[in-house]
Structure 1
Amino acid sequence: MKYGLWLGIVGLLLLAALIWYSQRDQGASPPSTLGTNSETSAPSSDGTSTESSSSSEAAGSGQYLTYSGDLLIGSGRRLLFFHAPWCPQCRALEKTIQERGVPDGVTIIKVDYDSNQQLRQQFGVTIQTTLVEIDGSNALIERYVAYDEPSISAVSSHFNLK
């Protein structure tokens, strides 16, 4: 009797874990378009969207935004920063971005590495601290992994940002 009860409990736990695992990414799949933080987006007089950064802009007037599913309407250079909050290298890179700012004309969009698997696959991202430059049609231009040197200086040097 005890063996059957124990087996039933283990089976229920395994079933619950399977259900949780299969549903943990539902709702986190990003659309094929890139987005901005809707709180930082405001329409301008010409009908396009202007975005403001909630981060420090001490060294430049570039923008550091959090990815969301809204349509990204922007100009200038755009980099997707695949970030994980548990990753020490990601936190180090984010700290330098916040302290030193983003270069003029550049928008860095922080994408949660763990919850955006479709976006990772689309751009061939396999490790946190990867930055992907995209063009106006959201196509890959170049990929860079900042793991060994997680600083805005290294990113700026690699992408030739001014």
Structure 2
Amino acid sequence: MKQKYSLLLILAGALLLCGVFWVYMRSNATMSNPSNDVVLEEPIVVDGDELEPASPPVQLEFDLGSYVPYSSTSLAQAQERGVTVLFFAATKWCHTCSDLEQEIIARAAEIPGDVTILKVDYDNDSAMKSAYGVTVQHTLIALDSSGEEITRWIGLDLDELLSSLEST
């Protein structure tokens, strides 16, 4: 009887260990293999009117420039205004992406008025990645008002980005 109980405990422990290992491997595969992406659009709020359900991501509108989550609505609005659209492909787990986002928020007044930065969720927006050939997070793509790519950069901080925008 004691031997059966010990065998059952060992079997239960092995199954638990396998389950933990499976969950760990699945979460790592999702982070490193973006082919499992689901297209999600971030909601946006304009002039206090809710166009879609509001969400907590960064939503900044400045007198000079703007930084908003990407959605088809925010892209259309930026294109209607005739501004340069700057896609910022970022992830929650990318430290340099987080650093740039914090710089953008802290130094909002330095964003040129003719630039709208749209934060694209690199992990979940496969349509944007394939449309513009984005293969790595912390990619910034400048588009003209018709949606044509002007240029792209990878890994810039805000000073480098602002300097690069001036020369384009």
For this structure pair, what is the TM-score category when the shorter chain's length is used for normalisation? 0.5 to 0.7
- Native 8 Å contact 2:91 2:137 kept in 1: yes
Residue 132 of structure 1 deviates from its aligned partner by 0.6
1:66 counterpart = 2:73: no
Q: What is the percent sequence identity of the aligned residues?
A: 27
Distance 2:48 2:98 in 1: 28
Q: Which of 39, 42, 56 lines up with 1:29 in the alignment?
A: 39
Q: Which of 55, 60, 67 lines up with 2:60 in the alignment?
A: 55
Distance 2:66 2:42 in 1: 11
Q: Name the residue aligned to 1:150.
A: 157
Q: Name the residue aligned to 1:121.
A: 130
The ranges of structure 1 where at least 4 consecutive aligned residues each deviate by more than 6 angstroms after the TM superposition are none
RMSD (Å) for aligned C-alpha atoms: 3.9
- Native 8 Å contact 1:78 1:134 kept in 2: yes
Residue 137 of structure 1 deviates from its aligned partner by 2.4
Which residue type is aligned with residue 71 of structure 2?
A: S
Please give the per-residue CA displacement for 1:44-96, whole angstroms capped at 9, x wherever unaligned. xxxxxxxxx83374xx6200000123361232111000010110000000011
1:139 counterpart = 2:148: yes
Structure 2 unaligned blocks of 5 or more: 1-13, 50-57
Q: Name the residue aligned to 1:81.
A: 88
Give the number of the structure whose alpha-carbon radius of gyration is greater. Answer: 2
Please give the per-residue CA displacement for 1:82-128, whole angstroms capped at 9, x wherever unaligned. 01011000000001100001222210000000001221121121111
What TM-score do the two structures reach when normalised by structure 2?
Answer: 0.62
Task: Give the length in aligned residue pairs.
Answer: 138
Q: Specify which structure has the higher proportion of helix.
A: 2
Q: Name the residue aligned to 1:95.
A: 102
Structure 1 unaligned blocks of 5 or more: 1-5, 44-52
